[in-house]
Structure 1
Amino acid sequence: MDSRRPPPLDRDHLRKVLVAADDPSTRQFLSGALVSLGYDVTLAVDGADALRHARATRFDALILDCRMPHGGALDVLRDLLDSIDAASAGVPAFATSAEISPLLRSDLDAAGFAGAIEKPCKIASLGHALDAALGVDPRMAVLSDSDGLVATGDPQIMASLRQLLRAELLQLRTELHELGGDPGGLVDRLHRLRSACGFCGALRLGAQAKALQGHVYEARQVAPAMMERFRRELEATIAALAV
């Protein structure tokens, strides 16, 4: 198992995010925050500009302001989904607004948004939302023997703890559907899981759990797409622990 940490990505391999907002300060903040998190950012100044970029370029994620000239987030996403040949149709999209009411959140969920980000937001919260939807760095090891040995100090102890972790993950697999409707319970469950992952060197699942936990804590809801992303990491870790 490769226990090495992944090297920094070069610019050609950065994930690409489109940020659309008519407010210059919002664009500046989101752009700076995303660059600091390791993303390649393209800016759009209104709905028409966002739609032009998203039709022509395949982005990994879209961050769209709810209120913009020539179309807000709902308008842009609807037009993308209605376009047969739009390059970014179907990619995870997030809506931003200074105030996200329950009604607006319901409309965004129904339209297919991966999440809603209320402004002003913390950089860490933005990172959690994107990681929860897109997944953590795929070059990170599923299991790291060296990290597990640092935490446990003994190969036999590590092996025993990994057997316990696999049993825990099999149980968690059966609980995921129920936890999807219980944001508070999911946050608590992920907190406990992260500790177990740390002892066992389960890097990717621990990182994905942290991202999902952080996002759910902020948003107080669980997006189905983010639960599916977490489930994939769960299954990958279960398979790795069985070897």
Structure 2
Amino acid sequence: MSHDASSLHATGVRRLLVADDDPSTRQFLAGALGGHGYTVTLACDGAEALTLGRAQRFDALILDCRMPHAGAIDVLATLRTDAASASREAVALATSAEVPSSLRTELLKVGFVGVIEKPCRIASVVDALAATLGIDDDLRVLDDHAGLTAAGDPATMQALRALLRAELVELAGELETGPTDPAALVERMHRLRSACGFCGAARLGAQAKALQVHLRETRAVVPDALVRFRAELDATLAALPA
């Protein structure tokens, strides 16, 4: 389920549901994600995940593919088709100890925005969440202090920002044509991060990093992540002098 740009600017603490039948995985994710500012609710199987997902609104679901009573695919399908579910529109990540290409393809097809192989690397989970939910609300669209520090003087910073604006206009046009090759987009994000760093474009640089890592992990261009990135691109364009 792809979200429109207007839904991508919620502020405050983001709420996650982590469902896994392995206690150590649950506790690891709860502690690690809590340390990154998320509020985490735990479920020990598919039935509990469904109960919680129906009753409470979560920003994201992290669901194990193989759980008693219902795996990730069944849980997500049930929540998506139930109009009364509070978490019907939550973004969803799947976790599994084994992720063959056929499973990865199926999970992305049914609406998961990413697939994390266990044992989880917390950086992979955090970047996947940032790619779809967004990065730190405290980051500025344009940070003049960071830009001046990188560029050395105001004239150079403004010249670099003019170049960045031209690059973003070009990139926005490319994205209008639809999803591109994941590997090519990874390289494009790498170059963009460098340009953002020289200009003090903090939010877009952070979002580009999250998208870059997410693309490497997922090996596909996920619409939710692309919409989120495009929202930050448009905000940066609006802030840059014409």
> Does TM-score exceed 0.5, indicating one fold?
yes
Aligned-partner Cα distance in 1 for 2:26–2:139: 30
Matches within 5 A, 1:1-243: 13-176=12-175, 180-242=179-241
Q: Deviations over 1:175-205 (max 9, x none)?
A: 2256833111111111110011011110110
Moved over 4 A (4+): none
CA contact (8 A) 1:179 1:185 kept: no
Aligned-partner Cα distance in 1 for 2:64–2:151: 46
Aligned-partner Cα distance in 1 for 2:132–2:17: 15
Offset of residue 122 of structure 1: 1.3
Aligned-partner Cα distance in 2 for 1:179–1:136: 23
Q: Secondary structure at the match of 1:116?
A: strand
Q: Deviations over 1:146-183 (max 9, x none)?
A: 11111112111111110000001111112225683311
Aligned-partner Cα distance in 1 for 2:81–2:14: 24
Q: Deviations over 1:198-235 (max 9, x none)?
A: 11110110000010111112222221110111011111
Aligned-partner Cα distance in 2 for 1:28–1:157: 49
Identity of matched residues, %? 60
CA contact (8 A) 1:179 1:186 kept: no
Q: Secondary structure at the match of 1:136?
A: coil
Aligned-partner Cα distance in 1 for 2:161–2:109: 40
Offset of residue 136 of structure 1: 0.7
Q: Secondary structure at the match of 1:75?
A: helix
Q: Secondary structure at the match of 1:38?
A: coil
CA contact (8 A) 1:94 1:113 kept: yes
TM-score (norm 1): 0.91
TM-score (norm 2): 0.92
Q: Secondary structure at the match of 1:96?
A: strand
Aligned-partner Cα distance in 2 for 1:206–1:44: 34
Offset of residue 33 of structure 1: 1.7
How many pairs are equivalent? 232
Q: Secondary structure at the match of 1:14?
A: coil
